[in-house]
Structure 1
Amino acid sequence: MQSQPILPTERIRLVPLSAGHLEHLAGLSADPEVMRYLGGVLTREQAAEELRTTLEYAAGGLGCWTGFVDGGFAGFWSLRPGEFPGQAELGYRLLRAHWRQGLAKEGARELLRHGFQDVGLGRIFARTAAANKGSQATMASLGLRHVRDFVADPEYFAPGDDLHAVEYAVGREEWLARG
């Protein structure tokens, strides 16, 4: 089975998530602005559980990568198995100090390349809260197209949150045709 490689970009070194990254995940997940559209802040124990769950799906080239810029922690990027074989869900979560610098797009572009070229996925999608216009702009700039609006499962949002969400996606042939 294919393991997760280190994925370097121009500015980011994406290394496979490990148990040693718990403090990074816990710190990032404790920031209310970072977690605003992700169900609210997590305690250290909840972050540890998220880490365990995330490590369970890291196989076949899929998983989560910890991103470092100039040797410092910047955030996480992920390719999580989708509901159907041959597809994966793209995700990213960055420290606020790294917002609006093009890093979410840069890391996500490398995960798209990896998913389609190295892993052989047929489709990659991303989902976010309908109110998260910044993430939607990143998805669109990557070439993902809006495919649907939906009402999210309440377990993914904090009580009282707006459950309206969107999905963007791109297929392998479409992505490869763009070169």
Structure 2
Amino acid sequence: MRVHLETERLILRHFTPADVDLVTDLDRDPEVLRYLGADAASRDVVERDGFFAAIEKASGEFAGWFEFRPLDEGEVELGYRLRRRFWGRGYATEGARALIAKGFTEGGVRRVVAFTMSVNTGSRRVMEKAGLRYVRTFHEDWPDPLPGAEHGDVEYALSEDDWNRQHGLP
């Protein structure tokens, strides 16, 4: 098991082929995919760079996954998908903050971006708690729009300079 980083309550590690069934099970919950749609299966995250399995330390259970994937030079996309029983316990915020801190202090990251549906208040709150700020609302032309799509999607972002200011660094 290759650990990427640890938080107080989570281990974020690289995926292994044995994780495919866990990710598939996560995607079977319609509430997990509520703001993503049934076509948003994440099985391929097991094979992609920038995705990490989240393991709850106390139980050793697979809690979900985090994305911290390079987009452009110095820019990464933050994402997360957790099993429903781990919602509302601060795990998404904890994992997001840890990835952001590592990215800015060790990874050469200059900007973190995240996206969600405008109506996904839970995910938006995680982004805000992790230090990201609202950038814009935009509208995609989805072939089969989800309920709430008429309100658009939102982008949040955090620059390295803003992160440094938030943490009292030069």
Q: TM-score, normalised by structure 1?
A: 0.83
2: CA distance between counterparts of 1:29 and 1:152?
23
| Match 1:151 to one of 139, 145, 152 | 139
1:75 to partner: Cα distance: 0.8
Report the equivalent of 1:14.
12
The residue identity in structure 1 corresponding to 2:128 is A
1:31 to 14, 29, 32: 29
The letter for the 1-side match of 2:36 is: L
Number of the residue aligned with 1:77: 66
**Which residue in 2 is equivalent to 1:66?**
53
Partner of 2:126: 138
Could you tell me how far apart the structure 1 residues matched to 2:6 and 2:141 are? Answer: 34
Contact kept, 8 Å, 1:25 with 1:47, in 2: the verdict is yes
Instruction: Indicate conservation of the 8 Å contact 1:29/1:41, yes or no.
Output: no
CA contact (8 A) 2:66 2:80 kept: yes
> What are structure 2's unaligned runs of at least 5 residues?
none
Residue in 2 aligned with 1:127? Answer: 115
Query: How big is each residue's C-alpha offset from its partner over 1:37-84, in whole Å with a ceiling of 9 and x where there is no partner?
Result: 112266xxx544x236xx34x1xxxx11101112111110111222x3
State the one-letter code of the partner of 2:70: P
> CA separation in 2, counterparts of 1:40 and 1:51?
16
Shift of 1:26: 0.2
Trace 1:36-47 onto structure 2 (pairs within 5 A): 36-40=34-38, 47=42
Runs of 4+ displaced beyond 4 Å: none
Give the secondary-structure state (helix, strand or coil) at the position aligned to 1:154: coil
**CA displacement, residues 127-154 of structure 1 (integer Å, 9 cap, x when unaligned):** 0011101000111111110001011353
Shift in alpha-carbon separation, 1:153–1:17, aligned structure 2, 3 A: farther
Contact 1:90 1:108 in 2 (8 A): yes
SS in 1 for 2:103: helix
CA-atom RMSD in angstroms: 1.8
Q: Which residue of 2 aligns with 1:89?
A: 77
Residue 18 of structure 1 deviates from its aligned partner by 2.5
CA contact (8 A) 1:88 1:124 kept: yes
The TM-score, its normalising length taken from structure 2, stands at: 0.87
For 1:117 and 1:75, how far apart are their aligned partners in 2?
25
Separation in structure 2 between the aligned mates of residue 160 and residue 139 of structure 1, nearest angstrom: 23
Percent identical among aligned pairs is 37
Contiguous gaps of at least 5 residues in structure 1:
none
Q: Does 1:51 align with 2:80?
A: no
Could you say if the C-alpha distance between residues 41 and 101 of structure 1 is closer, same or farther in structure 2, counting changes exceeding 3 Å?
farther
